[in-house]
A and B are shown apart, each in its own frame.
Chain A
Amino acid sequence: MLNLLNKFKDPELCRNILRQIEAEVNGQFKFMEVCGTHTVAIFQSGLRSLLPENIIHLSGPGCPVCVTHESEVAAYLELAEKDVIITTFGDLMRVPGPDRKNLKNAQAEGARVKVVYSAFDALKVAMENPQDKVVFLGIGFETTAPTVAATLKIAKEQKINNFYVLSFHKLVPPALKVLLEDQDTEIDGFLLPGHVSTIIGLKPYLFLASEYQMPAVISGFEPLDILQAILLMIRQKNSGQPEVVNNYKRAVADNGNPRARQVMDEVFEITDASWRGIGTIPQSGLGLNEDYEQLDGFKALDITLRDVPPIPGCRCGDVLKGKIRPDECPLFKKACTPASPVGPCMVSTEGSCAAYFKYMV
């Protein structure tokens, strides 16, 4: 497998495509890296410094931690102060809440917080601590939701009654639609997230080309994947024939993963969701359906999302919509650094502000 992956890093092949991109791009080409992993991959591989300057990189709303709404962060931080064990993916540990406190601070003050690698590990924590209420923070997109759904099914079947999920899951395609409806956003093409697409496939993106005439390519994360995708988008724009292309066939089937979607459907229902910087997007989130009420942290632990004022000065929202570059935010590298992050885009390993801070020479 690693040998195969090495081919997608081949310097000579990459240089060929870079030359083609340079030759074929007409004027500026602004493309959105929907997924934070793409932003990081573009920096890590050094592509950022190799692509021509008229290729403009826009960040997108595809980092799950970054789009987690302030009210959701406030809710789980309040919960952490109660008599529960919080289980979470590591990325959330440093995300600041309304008073800039985060789960790490809460942990230092005595909150019981465990970093896990999967929802199933969180369920194991529940089984090992039957006397405690164990809450898993369900954050992520269509990629993560199926494994959380599968874990919830097991919890229900095994009648584990001290395990709860706070589902903050979000769906990518509705967010892209909102961006395209926004008159201020200028986008020439979408680099579509490889991981999410393994689950949802091609179909949920087709509106990008048919309704909005937007080039869009599903891409993997190796340099060659990304370069090919950029070239395809440029060609679509030049020819005036936008379409949605799956250029990551080694991982993504055109119809995605129907089994994973089925598990999601069994456990979740589609709800409205709040996105940081964007606001409420109808039908863009996943909540537990009524069959899973007992495992639903919101219902079982009586948690409601309350209005939380946005962090003053933080422009994560504009970064997530591709309106400004991270280094155009007045707080960037000044009040906001990885050591003392103001907004989540500086915290998450997938966050574009963190990527700019970490990699930009």
Chain B
Amino acid sequence: MKKILLDYGSGGKASQRLISELFLKYLGNERLNRLDDAAFLSGMNGPLAMSTDSYTVDPLFFPGGDIGSLAVHGTVNDVAMLGARPMFLSCAFIIEEGLEMDLLEKIVASMGEAAKKSSVEIVTGDTKVVPKGAVDKIFINTTGIGQIVANPAPSGHRARPGDVIIVSGTMGDHGLTILSHRQGIAFDSNVQSDSAPLNHLILKLVQEIPEIHVLRDPTRGGLATTLNEIAQQSQVECFIFEDKIPIREEVKGGCSFLGLDPLYLANEGKLICILPENQAEKALKIMRSDPLAKECALIGQVKAERPGKVVLQTPLGGHRLLDMLEGEQLPRIC
């Protein structure tokens, strides 16, 4: 089995072979193939959106995706949330010496596939190989840039009392998939990661509904954390109905088994959309016609009463805070 050696990050011939035989093979395009020090970008004007994220997921491969597709979808989605059309991605690998070449090839192939599906080009990149133990197998950073289409651009600061809160589908699928496949807590589950590019859906939404105030993807920290961020940024109350939040039965079951709350689990192919109530039906209709958002639902409303807070109405009609977590969710004792 061929393995990645420190040589591959040296900038010498081994590096060159890795670039031409692997990266260009799967990610190649006119801009990347030039192999200059920087990518030459053209065709963009007006306001731009830019975002960066580093991916360190364990396990590298999981049902519904892998670190490669995640690294593309994640950054594409972040850029798109500003009502933008993501166009170009940079991509940097930090690889632990000894990683199997086959694994790297699978990851890069998956990135190529994901980039194609997301209609973005990977235009510049970097590879470092570090000694064993310095990173866990492979870390990937991607930075994305895109052209803002929405005017004004959606933002976490723009939620207003009277708006409604929509999610594009079920919550917690990605987080539970990762946790349940992590070493040590494996248990049977049919749940899949929802990792997917949302930029096409977002383009439809912002082009047809300029009134959209907020678009956010509830990744790390899940729905609860993202809503808290919005409540604080906009100084409003997010009031949501627990029984309206779509959650798969398998996710509920897995969460009750592990003592986790699905509202704090990461999503990688879902968005939160906040907009005036009179536009809600239109947004839901657009979402329902997209395979990635069939299970969308209106889950709550924006109020003025308790600025900065997220309040949950339980199925029994009681109210409680839905607070931000202090750190990661930890497995509990009983």
Q: Is the pair A11, B316 in contact by a Cβ cutoff of 8 Å?
A: yes
Other-chain residue from B252, B323, B330, B334 in contact with A143 (beta carbon distance below 8 A):
B334
B253's nearest neighbour on chain A, judged by CB, is: A2
Q: Is B318 an interface residue (CB 8 A)?
A: yes
A346's nearest neighbour on chain B, judged by CB, is: B326
Other-chain residue from A11, A195, A223, A349 in contact with B330 (beta carbon distance below 8 A):
A349
Q: Is B41 an interface residue (CB 8 A)?
A: no
Q: Is the pair B320, A89 in contact by a Cβ cutoff of 8 Å?
A: no
Q: Is the pair A349, B332 in contact by a Cβ cutoff of 8 Å?
A: yes
A37 CA to B333 CA in the complex, in Å? 10
A360's nearest neighbour on chain B, judged by CB, is: B321
Other-chain residue from A49, A91, A93, A115 in contact with B319 (beta carbon distance below 8 A):
A49
A158 CA to B330 CA in the complex, in Å? 30
In the bound complex, residues from chain B placing their C-beta under 8 Å from that of A28 are none
Q: Is the pair A357, B316 in contact by a Cβ cutoff of 8 Å?
A: no
A353 CA to B169 CA in the complex, in Å? 34
B312's nearest neighbour on chain A, judged by CB, is: A46
Interface string of B285-328 (1 = CB under 8 A from A): 00000000000000000000010010111111111110100110
B306's nearest neighbour on chain A, judged by CB, is: A361
Q: Is A243 an interface residue (CB 8 A)?
A: no
Write the nearest CB–CB distance from A122 to chain B, whole angstroms: 10
- For window 2-55 of chain A, which residues contact chain B by CB distance below 8 Å? 2, 9, 11, 14-15, 35, 37, 43-50
A340's nearest neighbour on chain B, judged by CB, is: B326
- For window 89-134 of chain A, which residues contact chain B by CB distance below 8 Å? 89-91, 93-94, 115-117, 121, 124
Q: Is B1 an interface residue (CB 8 A)?
A: no
A140 CA to B334 CA in the complex, in Å? 8
A358's nearest neighbour on chain B, judged by CB, is: B323
Q: Is the pair B317, A11 in contact by a Cβ cutoff of 8 Å?
A: yes
Q: Is B259 an interface residue (CB 8 A)?
A: yes
Write the nearest CB–CB distance from B325 to chain A, whole angstroms: 8
A142's nearest neighbour on chain B, judged by CB, is: B334
- For window 321-358 of chain A, which residues contact chain B by CB distance below 8 Å? 338-339, 348-350, 357-358
A1 CA to B257 CA in the complex, in Å? 12
In the bound complex, residues from chain B placing their C-beta under 8 Å from that of A214 are none
Q: Is the pair A50, B316 in contact by a Cβ cutoff of 8 Å?
A: yes
Other-chain residue from A49, A94, A116, A350 in contact with B332 (beta carbon distance below 8 A):
A350
- For window 161-193 of chain A, which residues contact chain B by CB distance below 8 Å? none
A140's nearest neighbour on chain B, judged by CB, is: B333
In the bound complex, residues from chain B placing their C-beta under 8 Å from that of A143 are 334
Q: Is the pair A91, B332 in contact by a Cβ cutoff of 8 Å?
A: yes
In the bound complex, residues from chain B placing their C-beta under 8 Å from that of A37 are 334
Q: Is the pair A50, B334 in contact by a Cβ cutoff of 8 Å?
A: no
Q: Is B331 an interface residue (CB 8 A)?
A: yes
B328's nearest neighbour on chain A, judged by CB, is: A90
Q: Is the pair A144, B334 in contact by a Cβ cutoff of 8 Å?
A: yes
In the bound complex, residues from chain A placing their C-beta under 8 Å from that of B188 are none
Q: Is A64 an interface residue (CB 8 A)?
A: yes
Other-chain residue from B184, B320, B326 in contact with A361 (beta carbon distance below 8 A):
B320
A339 CA to B323 CA in the complex, in Å? 12
Known A-B contacts A49-B320, A50-B318, A91-B332; the reply to A361 vs B259 at CB < 8 A is no
Q: Is A141 an interface residue (CB 8 A)?
A: yes
Contact count band on B = 20 to 34
Q: Is A65 an interface residue (CB 8 A)?
A: yes
Q: Is the pair A93, B330 in contact by a Cβ cutoff of 8 Å?
A: yes
Write the nearest CB–CB distance from A345 to chain B, whole angstroms: 14
Q: Is A359 an interface residue (CB 8 A)?
A: yes
In the bound complex, residues from chain A placing their C-beta under 8 Å from that of B319 are 46, 49, 361
Q: Is A319 an interface residue (CB 8 A)?
A: no
Write the nearest CB–CB distance from A335 to chain B, whole angstroms: 16
Q: Is B249 an interface residue (CB 8 A)?
A: yes
A210 CA to B271 CA in the complex, in Å? 57
Write the nearest CB–CB distance from A96 to chain B, whole angstroms: 13
Write the nearest CB–CB distance from A104 to chain B, whole angstroms: 8
Q: Is the pair A46, B321 in contact by a Cβ cutoff of 8 Å?
A: no
A341's nearest neighbour on chain B, judged by CB, is: B326
In the bound complex, residues from chain A placing their C-beta under 8 Å from that of B311 are 361
Q: Is the pair A48, B333 in contact by a Cβ cutoff of 8 Å?
A: no
In the bound complex, residues from chain B placing their C-beta under 8 Å from that of A195 are 334
Other-chain residue from A2, A9, A64 in contact with B333 (beta carbon distance below 8 A):
A64
A193's nearest neighbour on chain B, judged by CB, is: B334
Write the nearest CB–CB distance from B90 to chain A, whole angstroms: 31
Q: Is A139 an interface residue (CB 8 A)?
A: yes
In the bound complex, residues from chain B placing their C-beta under 8 Å from that of A90 are 330-332
A121 CA to B249 CA in the complex, in Å? 27
A89's nearest neighbour on chain B, judged by CB, is: B333
In the bound complex, residues from chain B placing their C-beta under 8 Å from that of A348 are 332
A239 CA to B333 CA in the complex, in Å? 37
In the bound complex, residues from chain A placing their C-beta under 8 Å from that of B315 are 9, 11, 45-46
Write the nearest CB–CB distance from A37 to chain B, whole angstroms: 7
Q: Is the pair B185, A46 in contact by a Cβ cutoff of 8 Å?
A: no
Q: Is the pair A338, B331 in contact by a Cβ cutoff of 8 Å?
A: no
Q: Is the pair A339, B326 in contact by a Cβ cutoff of 8 Å?
A: yes
Q: Is the pair A350, B334 in contact by a Cβ cutoff of 8 Å?
A: yes
In the bound complex, residues from chain A placing their C-beta under 8 Å from that of B334 are 35, 37, 64, 140-141, 143-144, 195, 350
Q: Is the pair A49, B318 in contact by a Cβ cutoff of 8 Å?
A: yes
In the bound complex, residues from chain B placing their C-beta under 8 Å from that of A50 are 316-318
Write the nearest CB–CB distance from A22 to chain B, whole angstroms: 14
In the bound complex, residues from chain B placing their C-beta under 8 Å from that of A116 are 184
Write the nearest CB–CB distance from B303 to chain A, whole angstroms: 12
Q: Is the pair A46, B318 in contact by a Cβ cutoff of 8 Å?
A: yes
A338 CA to B330 CA in the complex, in Å? 14
In the bound complex, residues from chain B placing their C-beta under 8 Å from that of A93 are 330
Interface CB pairs A-B, < 8 A, 20: A11-B315, A11-B316, A14-B316, A37-B334, A45-B318, A46-B315, A46-B319, A46-B320, A47-B318, A50-B318, A89-B333, A90-B331, A94-B326, A117-B185, A117-B258, A140-B333, A349-B330, A360-B321, A361-B306, A361-B309
Which B residues lie at the A interface, using CB under 8 A?
A: 184-185, 249, 252-253, 258-259, 306, 309, 311-321, 323, 326-327, 330-334
Give the 10 A-B CB pairs with smallest separation, nearest first: A46-B318, A90-B330, A46-B314, A338-B326, A359-B320, A49-B318, A90-B331, A50-B318, A89-B333, A358-B323
Q: Please name 6 further chain A to chain B contacts, defined as beta carbons within 8 Å, in addition to the given A11-B317, A89-B332, A121-B184, sorted by A numbering.
A: A2-B252, A91-B332, A94-B326, A94-B330, A349-B330, A349-B332
